[in-house]
Structure 1
């Protein structure tokens, strides 16, 4: 007598154990509807079996005080995943801080472009479930470490994920910059400024200034002049291990900004030195994610084709 066939189904992939059990949420808390979005996602994570904490400022500004509120060092120590709800600016801000702890980040887009916050809010449930259980594409993004030197002293330092920008002030005149790479003189440039961008930042200000798109897998930076006086002064891609130094030769009210989120004024003779940071941002994407899919969607390629 034969036995009936085993009709039990194979275990669902949703039955896999959680890869990430303690998730921190970072929200763009000034945006309309941010509180409801953060609360909804936190409830979803609880339902998936995760412990949930909120980044300290997110908790304070949304009033969602039923969740533990953690500052960045505490998040780096206690959490194994950070979920960023907002736009690329929100991701830039928290990503620079968490990179040193090796905590991976996932971006849920409530902004406009969303090059690095790439999961649409209306589909976060179906995208997050497999990620929480270890099914994802990991993407490492290099960071830049920048310092400003004046009379032999470091007077400012910052980390950037997108770009370091040296530019003129509000006066309608150019600045002159002396540019060196690895101690070798490149050129004295007269322009409105200079952008030093990572592959991540190649889709930001550098793109608007005429720079190339760099795949995030490329180990390099791009130097893009802003409205140069000499038209042959073109963008240059250089290796990521290179050190770039920019000295202010002349011009009024020059400044340097880092990811457009921190700023310092510059004087004649100041040197801005940019090198690769020892830390990298870990981004997680849904399985099947492609950088080219992101470009095609965000830059509206093939529309009408």
Structure 2
């Protein structure tokens, strides 16, 4: 018997239908099923609802939705080392490998250990308060972790923000820009891509720093070793907003620094081990042969 956590997009009917079918199959096979409270209520099984953060560690997490649901899934279970099987009922679905038609077969294979598990690095961020800034002492102890990226960007529309970047304790440059993105290889096809960053194979180990709409001659991405400590200090009078995988994290004032490093654990993707990275990239972005 295995315990399976289902994380579904609560506002997509197809995700809820697939969740209901998966619950029925799991129970029929003698496995345990849990879900978020909202999704469990939506499929008429409120007794399956669990609180967030989850208190018990499942054997497998099944994410049914799109890329946003996958990010939420890893936020819930990555620290515990739980593998996530992604089912696409979204649009692009770059992070989700499987389709609803094959859901129970793939879950059965994952529970048998017949599918590969690919480990991908994640990114972590914390705030280092500037001297004299009115922050709680616990602010420096809070760390946020993401699969795709950490972003520090302007709060005020119509203005840039000045951000001083440190690499392993040495000053590198001061950017005047709308913001800076620190992405993982997995996140290189997310916000970083739209800002002009390079596409990096998801199993690569590196951190990529990409400026957003920079007002300076140097506008290239930096591809850095994975263990680099990246400090981003707000040096303008305007504050900046930090976000991790699209989730608001903190507001930084002048002198505050966002410290970004590799996370202490990796995300574990369940994969069929079929298509190579470049084939998946070609398919998801509709690239054609000439």
- In the superposition, the TM-score normalised over structure 2's length comes to 0.90
CA distance in 2, matches of 1:61, 1:68: 10
Equivalent in the alignment of 1:5: none
Q: Which runs of 5+ in 1 are unaligned?
A: 1-19
SS in 2 for 1:240: coil
| 1:136 pairs with 2:121 | no
Residue of structure 2 in register with 1:25 after alignment: 6
Corresponding residue of 2:94: 115
1:210 to 185, 188, 196: 196
SS in 2 for 1:264: strand
Aligned equivalents of 1:72, 1:174: Cα separation in 2: 36
After TM superposition, give the deviation of residue 110 of structure 1 in Å.
Answer: 1.4
Secondary structure (helix, strand or coil) at the match of 2:121 reads strand
1:165-204 equivalences under 5 Å are 165-204=151-190
- The match for 2:230 is 244
What displacement does 1:138 show?
A: 1.3
Are the equivalent residues in 2 in contact too, given 1:55–1:72 (CA < 8 A)?
A: no
Relative distance call for 1:254 and 1:126 in structure 2 (3 A) is same
Structure 2 gap segments, 5+ residues each: 132-136
Q: What secondary structure sits across from 2:235 in the alignment?
A: strand
Deviation at 1:229, TM superposition (A): 1.2
Q: Per-residue deviation at 1:141?
A: 1.6
Q: Distance in 1 between matches of 2:52 and 2:238?
A: 39
SS at match of 2:62: strand
1:152-167 mapped onto 2 (5 Å cutoff): 153=137, 155=139, 156-167=142-153
**For the structure 1 residues 75 and 90, does the alpha-carbon distance in structure 2 shift closer, same or farther, using more than 3 Å as the test?**
farther
Match of 2:242 among 222, 237, 256: 256
User: Distance between the aligned counterparts of 1:142 and 1:211, measured in 2?
Assistant: 18
Structure of larger gyration radius: 1
Distance 1:140 1:115 in 2: 16
Shift, 1:21, TM fit = 2.2
**Using the alignment, how far apart are the partners of 2:190 and 2:282 within structure 1?**
15
1:60 positional shift: 3.8
Say what the alpha-carbon RMSD is for the aligned residues: 2.1
Q: Does 1:43 align with 2:24?
A: yes
Q: In structure 2, what is the equivalent of residue 74 of structure 1?
A: 55
**Between 100-109 and 279-288, the greater mean CA deviation after superposition:** 279-288
Alignment pair present for 1:281 and 2:267: yes
Q: For residues 194-213 of structure 1, give each alpha carbon's deviation from its aligned partner in whole angstroms, at most 9, with x where no partner exists.
A: 00000111010000000011
SS of aligned partner of 2:86: strand
Runs (4+) of structure 1 moved beyond 4 Å? none
Q: How many residues align?
A: 283
Alpha-carbon distance between aligned partners in 2 of 1:62 and 1:170, rounded to the nearest angstrom: 42
Show the counterpart of 2:134.
none
User: CA offset at residue 163 of structure 1?
Assistant: 0.5
Q: How far did residue 101 of structure 1 move?
A: 1.0
- Distance in 2 (CA, whole Å) between partners of 1:62 and 1:268 is 48
Q: 1:128 to 1:296 in 2, by over 3 A?
A: farther
Query: Is residue 272 of structure 2 the alignment partner of residue 272 of structure 1?
Result: no
The question of 1:105 aligning with 2:91 is answered no
TM-score by length of 1: 0.85
Question: C-alpha separation between the residues in 2 aligned to 1:154 and 1:198?
Answer: 27
